[in-house]
Structure 1
Amino acid sequence: MYMTTAEIREKYLQFFQSKGHLRLPSFSVIPQDDPSLLFINAGMTPLKPYFLGKTPIFHTPEGEKISYRVTTCQKCVRTGDIENVGRTNRHQTVFEMLGNFSFGDYFKKEAILWAWEFLTDKRWLGLEPERIYVTIYEEDDEAFEYWTQDVGLPPERLHRFGADENFWPADAPSKGPNGPCGPCSEIYYDRGPEFGADTWADYYQTRESNRFVEIWNLVFPQYDRKDGGILEPLPKPNIDTGMGLARVAMVLQGVTDFYETDEFKPIIAKVVELSGVSYEGPSSLAHRVISEHARAVSFILSDGATFSNTGRGYVVRRLLRRAVRYGYLLGLREPFMHRLAAVVAEVMGGVYPELRENLESVQKQIRLEEERFFETLEQGVERLDALLSGLEPGDTLSGEEAFRLYDTYGFPLDLTLEIADERGIKVDTEGFQKALEEAQELARQRAAFDKDVFKRPNEALLAIARDSGGTVFVGYERTEETAQVKLLLAGNQSLDEAPAGTEVQVVLDRTPFYAEGGGQIGDFGVLEWAGGWAKVSTTQKNPDGIYLHLAKVEEGTLKAGTTVRALVDPHRRDTEKNHTATHLLHAALRAILGTHVRQAGSYVGPDRLRFDFTHPEPVSPRELARIELLVNRWIQGDFPVSYTYKPLEEAKKEGAMALFGEKYADVVRVVAVEGTADNVAAGTAISKELCGGCHVRRTGEIGMFVIRFEEAVSSGVRRIEALTGTGAVQYVRENLDVLQALSRELGVNPEGLPERLGKLQNEIKAREKEIERLRRELARAQLGGGTASALKEAGGYQYLAVRLEGLEVGALRSAADELLDKHKADLVAVGSGQNLVIKLSKEAQAKGLDAGAVMKRLTEAAGGRGGGKGALAQGGGFDLERAFAALEGALLSR
């Protein structure tokens, strides 16, 4: 029965809603509160706190809900095997994982029976029952009973495997890690003999098949593994399942691979349209890579990531460049991936609205990155040309050099092979593959799923979260509070007391200390009690809302249960100024540069503010001046700053700005600078953002705003650093002092500095030109007379070697041109000091002579370093006598 991908997705979610599951939208692919992961890589990953015992409270458009049954279609990213994408029918970087989850509610029997019902019932997928095969863990008799007796699956269509195949995590009983684990049951579907002649018995032996496709994995975390491989039953076992949406679509649509499913076809069709190359034969690999990576890049960028040289930004850059490389092989020489982003948004934007909402910004980022990479690709062509110019037909380009081209310039091996073959040169593909595998292994190690994903937090912290719901924060109203110490922690170990000199994390029942978040640093200050005090260096908050004060006991002994006086350092006032100024800066950037500007990161502390934002080009000095002036006008307006709590959807409808990828509760705090009465009447606030940070009460408290600098962070992301209040005044004063000192040194008023500096620059340029002229005259003076008699012959070429004194490389090139023209030689070598220039005539080039090849032979024979191609080569570090003596041999060895 044919079914579209959208229909499969919707049926799955509706089915589990009918079984009492709460349906949630996909979480962002960028993990929240989990620094161990670059991307969400499985459907259960965003839900793992609830598998660990946290109450499963979810914020939905209808309000806060508690549900121990959840179903999702989660977009996931896995990048450990990028090079296999397009080459196999199994690998994807971005995929959709359908899942149903139980947090200590139903268990194995329900999961198995519901899976069978959804797969075989004609109201749902209607798959043929006799084509379904199952694997279970070899010791899981319970699952065997449910499958064979309750479902009625014939035992010959069920196989038992060991812990390496049917346990999660794999091999957990023998190898760990400790924590929740359990057996799993995988469901396969027989697509028929047209997809392969192998049988289910063959799969049992090889575990590889195109005919039998795994479509669903039911995981039963029922044990808590302890040291020594002890498996203790969990008091409340869980259910975690994952069904690959693309694989199911492939089965129901009767196609060979997921590239032929309905959601991929429009993207591939666009690649065909842009390239003019049909989707068949060897070129189909390029179409698959481009279409898959177009989806991946669109999903990742639309969730708030940006191109960069590290972390997830590096991964998305690597994906884009791999796609562009394959586009280059199809003949595409202009940016094209940004056009595919529009197709992805059109096909999948109904399910994932962020693809459409952020399309303009995503396309701008992609186009800029493509333009830069096309330049790099051209540099790769030049680099390869230089490498090949030093080789003869029949020679071999090393695998290390080929991989360096690939790794540094993103230059594909296929293109290297094609260009090298045109010159009769081989490429060491085995050496390339070895270097690639070493790099891939490193990437896999970095991207490996964190085996400690279920590492248990401190039990005392969990108890506090259950009993009180977290720490009461009073820091918006005051910076001093009396509180009780609920817990002392050293690492993950609870302490009864902490004597002087101990570094400890202090949990209070209530606190005025702001916990690091939203770009604002954690508060610092002191805790005082009778007989002692501790210095708080920063404050953090865990996912359960418990504030952790990182402190060092300076005097006395701090004990659990002690009543303390918590005092935030007065510099918090400067942090508040900088935070409100950050909101004003954001508003000014959107007003001056355009509404495409959105926040991409920030730092707010007492010393300064830093704001990262999306913008495709440098901000001009004139634009920076306008932005700075606008922020200062709003400060001088002394406008009130309001703080209200509203339902999330209502706040968004009112235009409150939210950060991409940020999780918000159903009720949010809105920080607004309303502006004038006209602004209030029109409902057009100067700034309105969802924010939990600390702010001033009126903009006038900020005092002054000064931009220190603007710079690039990564492709499509800029950064502004600025100062406020006293810090801004001090910065201006210091710069004025420098300006006045320069003015005194140059004997002009500050207003006359630009003119004076301009004159000095012109004088320097004139002197440099005069020096260059004198050098050329020196060269001509040394060239007069008897150089013709120095002409020599070797290998059928006439050449000239001349040593001059006191010349730079530029003057040597001019001297070589003059000698070449004057004496009609085939080759001229001119040196001075340790520098050497080689120049060829057109006739010598026509005969096959190459300056770069000659230079290479000289470096091998006489030391030094250098390179070039065609008619010109140059280098340094030479013993010129040895180099000139080696010229004859270099020409004869051709």
Structure 2
Amino acid sequence: MRTAELREKYLSFFEGKGHLRLPSFSLIPEDDPSILFTSAGMAPLKPYFLGARPVFGGKEWRRVTTCQKCLRVGDIENVGRTGRHNTFFEMLGNFSFGDYFKKEAITWAWEFLTEHLKLEPDRLWVTVFEDDDEAYAIWRDLVGVPEERIGRFGEDENYWPGGAITHGPNGPSGPCSEIFYDRGPGFGTPDETGPNTGSGDRFVEIWNLVFTQYDRQGPIPGPGILKPLPQKNIDTGMGLYRVAAILQGVEDFYRTDTFFPLIERVALWSGRPYEGKSSVSHRVIADHVRAVVAALSDGATFSNTGRGYVVRRLLRRALRHGYLLGLKDPFLHRLAPVVAELLGDFYPEMRENLPAVEKQIRLEEERFLETLEGGVRRLEELLSGLKPGEALPGEEAFRLYDTYGFPLDLTVEIAAERGFGVDTEGFEEAMRLQQERSRAAMAFEREIFKRGAQVLEEIQKERGGTEFVGYTDLEAEAEVLALLAGDQSLLEAGPGTEVQVVLDRTPFYAEGGGQIGDFGFLEWPGGRARVETTRKTEGGIFLHKARVEEGTLRVGQRVRAVVDPRRRDTERNHTATHLLHAALRAVLGPHVRQAGSLVAPDRLRFDFTHPEPLSLEELERVERLVNRWIMADLPVRWTYKPLEEAKKEGAMALFGEKYGEVVRVVEVAEASKELCGGTHVRRTGEIGAFFIAREEAVSAGVRRVEALTGEGALDFVQGMRRRLHRLAEALGTGEAALEERISRLKEELKAKEKEAALLKARLARAELKGEVEEKGGLRYTVQTLSGLDASALRQAADDLVAQGVDVVLLFSEGNAVLKLSKKALERGLEAGSLMRRLTERAGGRGGGKGALAQGGGLLPERAKEALLEAL
């Protein structure tokens, strides 16, 4: 049975049991900052397990089934080394939110496995939590599993979360029951208790049923109290790939139809068959490229932090294993279409976003391979300083790993080829010390709004969040509810005091959605405070960071809150940001997604996913489209509606934002519709004008546009005109003839550079010392000259060949030139092959053919040794 058929059979089965089939949620969690990626089938459904009404498409569903994309890297070091671990996987699940419970979950799982998949009942073993007599009885009495094939285990094995009773965390928890498939004695030997024991991979866990029925309370660590939940839930997960391997009769999921086509291509390209030690690298590549394609297709990008760091680490790990197989050029991007073909029927975003994903992967590969080459050079330098029998210190091996991303196994392999060992224990110790430093640094993190938490909690309970009136008004009368300074609550604040002011209502917009917090003034009879910025707590209480300038501000005082009028400029930039987003998608394609933004009075900044720089034509098309929408004076409207309804209508959810059940939808007629809590103009004509100031890279696969509107756009254009005028004056020509003047100057400069190159070549000839030796009937010389670029170095080599030298190898300023005479060519020497031999021994990179080859970064002494061996 093919994997796709198994996936469909499962979902159809549970649809037949009254479940709503939902498409897979994105790998990037929408409303869960606690995780970087969706790591379990139940993760996107957390709110419904905690009691939220499970409404989908306007209807309440208490039963749901999904095939969820998941990504985990917690055991990444085991990926490839076993047939059980992988990072990107698909989890089949059926869920109940306060509906059915243990009996249905258990009997339906058994029915599906034995009647629909035709697995032999005698090969199925189950485990339950040691105190869960109810589940044990259902398996034994209703299903008919013999007692000898039912195992009881403690909280570490059969409770969710693992060990929660003793170690926490507090919150929803419950016992679980696992189903194992016995693959037979050829895969290992169990002891008398069956699953979770014995050796080998004989028993494969294929299904986990979690019975969420308790609220764990009490000290952590310590024996917790398990209070029954008012709503009992079912959370189950069947491992798609593990069951597919069983049904397809292969030893592990890497040989199933969704993995093996990737492995076959890697074996073909590398010339290394899928067997023995090399098979680890084949498996790592197949697993990781699937994960990278899936993550990028869902909007992730490569970066040095957070989610992007995980994706970058996966790609680099796959690339390093390709290097071990002899794949020294970018190749992972060539596997991306294979992944899209294998999974695109069920996950169409992989096909839709394939062109952008391929480009992102290719760019990242090229960057890392350059880094990897640098690591090889550094390793060669370190090894050249060792004496025979010595080992490379562990600290140096770790520095290679930390600086160049150079894997320990590659360091060990290269060192062994040169006859050296590596202090792997020292490497592990250096790794441990770095992890300890990282944990210590993380301990210093603090919650943003920790100060005055008790006061804010009391206000939240009594009055709820701050009433925001700033969508329509820039001024409002308000009452001071609290004054916070440091970790203290004040009753009053005199001149010079900096406080966080809490008002019952406010026109000040609190920082969020990329828009900066408002600034302005608080005024009262005899007093005034300058508001520097505004933020808000998760509970919706606005905090006005203010400094009292006159008088005394007191709790309970009535004040006049006045937002600085530059807020109108911020509104222009925020609406323009929405138009820019829409224009980028229209010009570049639907793969464009927001990856960050800044909306301020003086400018807007927009980060978005796109694999390459925008051409001048593309920038002009984006700019023209936005200005057309502005000139059309389109109405800007906002409404409130349920989140699911807004998404169904096509409203775009923005990067990093959390949304409630009811959302604000900002719509620019005929142009844009987004979920947004920010402030906006009433009609696009208020924006005035829009100009892009710059476009640049933020990281691999992420571009940034900075733009200006209104008065800022006018200032930008006038400034450019002034600079153009000054440049024309400096070059002694009119603005209309500026391009022609610059073109002539470039030609003159090129001629001068040519003259300089010839002069350098003459100097080089004067510097040549005539140190010519002979070997095998060929005259050769290896020399290092000073101050020559590649062109001058070639000229010097030509001169020496003309003087009767057969093999010339010259170095200068990091460049290398290898030149052969006709006699050397007739003897069978070839410059390109020779240069490859030199770089293998002396590091660096190079290439060529026939009589000439060039390179860079070679170590001269080692290159000379390699050359003499070749002659």
- Asked if Structure 1 and Structure 2 have the same fold, meaning a TM-score greater than 0.5 normalized by the shorter chain, the answer is yes
Shift of 1:527: 4.6
Q: 1:248 to 1:515 in 2, by over 3 A?
A: farther
Q: Deviations over 1:108-164 (max 9, x none)?
A: xx8544443333357888974994332536xxx4x2465359965877656565665
Is this contact kept in 2: 1:39–1:78, CA < 8 A? yes
Partner of 2:296: 301
Shift of 1:726: 1.8
Worse overlay, 365-374 or 686-695 = 365-374
Shift of 1:609: 0.9
Partner of 2:573: 578
Partner of 1:118: 108
Is this contact kept in 1: 2:569–2:710, CA < 8 A? yes
Which of 166, 171, 174 matches 1:180?
171
Which of 719, 734, 738 matches 1:749?
734
Partner of 2:58: 62
Shift of 1:770: 1.2
Q: 1:207 to 1:231 in 2, by over 3 A?
A: farther
Say yes or no: does 1:7 pair with 2:9: yes
Residue type of the alignment partner of 1:819: L
Residue type of the alignment partner of 1:814: Q
Inter-partner Cα distance in structure 2 for 1:96 and 1:888? 54
Inter-partner Cα distance in structure 1 for 2:173 and 2:58? 35
Residue type of the alignment partner of 1:724: T
Partner of 2:519: 524
Q: Deviations over 1:276-334 (max 9, x none)?
A: 69996457656654554454234323322233444323333443455567678598986
Structure number with greater CO (CA < 8 Å, separation at least 6) is: 1
Partner of 2:260: 268
Say yes or no: does 1:94 pair with 2:88: yes
Is this contact kept in 1: 2:514–2:599, CA < 8 A? yes
Which of 677, 684, 694 matches 1:692?
677
3-state SS of paired residue (2:178):
strand
Partner of 2:695: 710
Q: Deviations over 1:469-503 (max 9, x none)?
A: 75443322212334456677789x89575756777
Worse overlay, 94-103 or 516-525 = 94-103
Shift of 1:519: 2.7
Residue type of the alignment partner of 1:4: L
Worse overlay, 434-443 or 584-593 = 434-443
3-state SS of paired residue (1:722):
strand
Q: Deviations over 1:650-705 (max 9, x none)?
A: 6667665555886666665443333xxxxxxxxxx133444332111122211222
Unaligned runs of 5+ in 1: 349-354, 675-684, 860-864
Unaligned runs of 5+ in 2: none
3-state SS of paired residue (1:253):
helix
3-state SS of paired residue (2:180):
strand
Inter-partner Cα distance in structure 1 for 2:828 and 2:398? 30
Inter-partner Cα distance in structure 2 for 1:654 and 1:236? 36
Inter-partner Cα distance in structure 2 for 1:866 and 1:627? 42
Say yes or no: does 1:191 pair with 2:182: yes
Residue type of the alignment partner of 1:118: W
Residue type of the alignment partner of 1:32: E
Inter-partner Cα distance in structure 2 for 1:771 and 1:804? 16
Q: 1:485 to 1:79 in 2, by over 3 A?
A: farther
Q: Deviations over 1:687-736 (max 9, x none)?
A: 34443321111222112222101123344433211011122222233333
Is this contact kept in 1: 2:377–2:844, CA < 8 A? no
Partner of 2:624: 629
Q: 1:35 to 1:795 in 2, by over 3 A?
A: farther
Q: 1:336 to 1:829 in 2, by over 3 A?
A: closer
Which of 591, 608, 612 matches 2:607?
612
Shift of 1:607: 1.9
Q: 1:428 to 1:579 in 2, by over 3 A?
A: farther
Which of 132, 147, 160 matches 2:136?
147
3-state SS of paired residue (1:187):
strand
Shift of 1:574: 0.9
Is this contact kept in 2: 1:578–1:609, CA < 8 A? yes
3-state SS of paired residue (2:803):
helix
Inter-partner Cα distance in structure 1 for 2:462 and 2:95? 25
Inter-partner Cα distance in structure 1 for 2:117 and 2:788? 81
Identity of aligned residues (%): 44
Pairs within 5 Å for 1:255-654: 255=249, 259=253, 265-266=257-258, 268-269=260-261, 272=264, 281-282=275-276, 288-320=283-315, 322=317, 329=325, 335-348=333-346, 355-357=347-349, 359-370=351-362, 373=365, 425=417, 470-484=465-479, 495=489, 497=491, 499=493, 508-527=503-522, 536-541=531-536, 546-552=540-546, 554=548, 564-594=559-589, 597-645=592-640
Q: Deviations over 1:727-777 (max 9, x none)?
A: 222223333333333333333333333333333332222222112212223
Residue type of the alignment partner of 1:514: Y
Residue type of the alignment partner of 1:147: Y
Shift of 1:98: 5.3
Worse overlay, 379-388 or 774-783 = 379-388
Is this contact kept in 1: 2:836–2:847, CA < 8 A? yes
Which of 38, 41, 50 matches 1:40?
38
Is this contact kept in 2: 1:271–1:287, CA < 8 A? yes
Which of 752, 764, 769 matches 1:767?
752
Worse overlay, 270-279 or 478-487 = 270-279
Q: Deviations over 1:480-538 (max 9, x none)?
A: 334456677789x8957575677766655543333433332333344556786665544
Which of 79, 84, 100 matches 1:85?
79
Inter-partner Cα distance in structure 2 for 1:804 and 1:102? 77
Q: 1:231 to 1:587 in 2, by over 3 A?
A: closer
- TM-score w.r.t. the length of structure 2 is 0.75
Shift of 1:567: 3.3
Is this contact kept in 2: 1:29–1:39, CA < 8 A? yes
Inter-partner Cα distance in structure 2 for 1:888 and 1:89? 45
Residue type of the alignment partner of 1:625: E
3-state SS of paired residue (2:341):
helix
Q: Deviations over 1:767-790 (max 9, x none)?
A: 22112212223344566xxx66x6
Partner of 2:70: 76
Residue type of the alignment partner of 1:120: W
Is this contact kept in 1: 2:492–2:554, CA < 8 A? yes
3-state SS of paired residue (1:696):
coil
Q: 1:531 to 1:433 in 2, by over 3 A?
A: farther
Is this contact kept in 1: 2:596–2:655, CA < 8 A? no
Inter-partner Cα distance in structure 2 for 1:607 and 1:259? 55
Shift of 1:573: 0.8
Inter-partner Cα distance in structure 2 for 1:495 and 1:78? 44
Partner of 1:728: 713
Residue type of the alignment partner of 2:341: V
Shift of 1:632: 2.9
Is this contact kept in 1: 2:633–2:684, CA < 8 A? yes
Is this contact kept in 2: 1:399–1:428, CA < 8 A? no
